[in-house]
Structure 1
Amino acid sequence: MTTATAPPTTSTAPGLEPTGLRLRLADHQGHDHLDGGWWPHSRDLSAELRRLVDDFPPERGRVVRVLYSPPDWDNRPVRSLPVAAGQVKVGFFPHDDTHLVHLTMSDRSVWLLAVVPPGFSADQGDEALLAAATSGNQHSAADLLHTVEGEAASVPADHWARGS
């Protein structure tokens, strides 16, 4: 079973900032290829990381470092980012296009999250979050997103588990 940590919500009124952290985490971190998925509202890494770090479920830990895949974003924070709890160290994987973020927690555990493109439709985004957090997932983030982008409506939920 997976846990949706916050209901995905967006603002439909023109000019209003989207609200809500769109994040789905696996029940057990480190057991599968991915530990969940994150669906940012934009390609502004600084703004989206603040939302992710500040709203990350406290029972899952406190984020102290983030590594990201540069092609997913329009801007890059320098070496740290101010957040509600202080500063978070930020780095990136050079020449990487894996659609991932690695969140290092204060206890040194790491959450490996697929980054769902902000332009995905609601159905595609929901399917990608489900796939990334499904127990037994063995798909890379890139493969998962490619599959969802091409056939989200026709992929059965159990497709994402081990052996599918």
Structure 2
Amino acid sequence: MTTSPSTTSSSSTGADTAPGSSARGPLRLALRAPARGTPLDGAWHPRSRDLAVEVADLVDHFPVSAGRVGRLLFSRPDWDSEPGERSLRRITAARGAVKVGSFPRDDTHLMIVKLSPDHALRLLVVPSELDEDTARRIMDRAVADDNTLGADELLAAERPGS
């Protein structure tokens, strides 16, 4: 399944809206069918660095056809936190609570979305501060059939002087 980041949508009103996320706009997510030997299964461009708000939005608006999110593993440097603060272990979304965990000392801009015990997706986390056009270009490359680049490599290719 390939979903264009410009056409993946989510509800921005009513019960489907993540807590604290009024009128957020569509979920900026691009997915492709998982394939062996590919570094990424998709890309996600969150709107902020607030892990609790963004994960709740991702869980609540994740495409039903892809599966139900059961657990998430994230890279700590992608998200804001207070120094010395413990990492979140559970995030409450409208669809229910989801367990979360972090990679120790990792800066790969990667999120693992566990859909079932034996099925997980590897998502590039596009920094929220990137503009829409740059983010869309990166997301399109991440889900391209011929992509062989990992998360860090895709982001580095878009930096000036690369």
TM-score, normalised with respect to structure 2: 0.81
C-alpha RMSD of the superposition: 2.4
Percent pairwise identity:
41
User: Paired residue for 1:158?
Assistant: none
Does structure 1 conserve the Cα–Cα contact (< 8 Å) formed by 2:87 and 2:102?
no
User: Paired residue for 2:128?
Assistant: 118
The number of equivalent residue pairs is 145
What does residue range 130-145 of structure 1 map to in structure 2 within 5 Å?
A: 130-145=140-155
Pick from 31, 53, 62 the counterpart of residue 68 of structure 2.
62
In structure 2, how many angstroms separate the alpha carbons of the residues matched to 1:73 and 1:45? 6
In structure 1, how many angstroms separate the alpha carbons of the residues matched to 2:9 and 2:89? 30
In structure 1, how many angstroms separate the alpha carbons of the residues matched to 2:52 and 2:35? 26
Larger deviation, residues 48-57 vs 80-89:
80-89
Q: Residue type of the partner of 1:6?
A: T
Does structure 2 conserve the Cα–Cα contact (< 8 Å) formed by 1:61 and 1:107?
no
User: Paired residue for 1:109?
Assistant: 119
Q: Which runs of 5+ in 1 are unaligned?
A: 9-15, 153-164
TM-score, normalised with respect to structure 1: 0.80
- Deviations 1:5-52 (Å, cap 9, x if unpaired)? 6159xxxxxxx85321000011x2143210010000000011000011
User: Paired residue for 1:6?
Assistant: 8
Does structure 2 conserve the Cα–Cα contact (< 8 Å) formed by 1:2 and 1:135?
no
